[in-house]
Structure 1
Amino acid sequence: MLTDIHPKIPMRNKHITREFYINKLGFKQLGTADYDGYLMLKRDQIEVHFFQFTTLDPKENYGQVYIRTDNIDKFYSSLVENKTEIHPNGKLQIKPWGQKEFSILDPDSNLLTFGQKI
């Protein structure tokens, strides 16, 4: 019955969030409507939604999303090439649970972990 999931995570500044996800991660804006305090972005089959939270303290943000990929090495290389900062504790590596993963933080300290089954 369940078919998709579209996580909603906080953002302080819509412009900064949009630019990061589009220019650093290759997402595109979903649709043409510009909703006040809300942003929807998509890349391939992944949609991420954002809600305005102007008083968010990034040091206290625990937003996290785990995104699966089928070519983690290529995606990781593309992020390194465009100088996207990889989380210091999230370098690309094989995990004991059978996933190859890496992590980044977005401008609001939402943790994005990308993984591929090995």
Structure 2
Amino acid sequence: MPFIKKEKTLAFYLKQLDFNLISDYGDYMILEKDNLEIHFFNYQSLEKEKSDFMLYIRVSDIKRFYENLIQNNVKIHPKGALETKAWNQKEFSIIEHNGTLLTFGENLK
């Protein structure tokens, strides 16, 4: 069964988050950015506009990454602006087009 939102997913991660497509096997694809790989598998959910997933993605130079997303018109989560947390992380969050919460963090230690 084909990815229902594959083209939107590719466009979002490639154009707005600056990932690179490494492999595309139809119902399985791999994207990469700064030594990080994300593997996407086709999963048919009964709820088409909802996701119960949250991904925490550790990055380096989070301020530059955050500013690049703003320039690419990526909408920051209303409660997820870039800030330093009590647990020595600098973090921000977005909700991608499939409804998945993506939180990006940089270790400040």
TM-score by length of 2: 0.86
1:16 partner letter: K
Whichever residue aligns with residue 55 of structure 1, its letter is S
Regions of 4+ moved over 4 Å: none
User: Number of paired residues?
Assistant: 105
Q: Sequence identity, in percent?
A: 41
Contact 1:94 / 1:101 at 8 angstroms: preserved in 2? yes
Shift of 1:54: 4.0
Match for residue 86 of structure 2 among 84, 88, 96: 96
**In the alignment, what sits opposite 1:74?**
64
In structure 2, what is the equivalent of residue 112 of structure 1? Answer: 102
Counterparts of 1:41-56 in structure 2, within 5 Å, are 41-56=31-46
- For residue 15 of structure 1, what is the aligned residue in structure 2? 7
2-side partners of 1:80 and 1:46: how far apart? 21
- One-letter amino acid of the structure 2 residue matched with residue 106 of structure 1: E
Which sits farther off after the overlay, 98-107 or 16-25? 98-107
Superposition TM-score, scaled by structure 1 size:
0.80
Counterparts of 2:46 and 2:34, CA distance in 1: 29
The unaligned stretches of length 5 or more in structure 2 are none
8 Å CA contact 1:12, 1:55 repeated in 2 = no
RMSD over aligned CA atoms reads 1.6
Cα drift, residue 29 of structure 1:
0.5
Q: Distance in 2 between matches of 1:84 and 1:95?
A: 22
Show structure 1 runs of 5+ residues with no match: 1-10
Structure 1 residue 56 displacement after superposition = 5.0
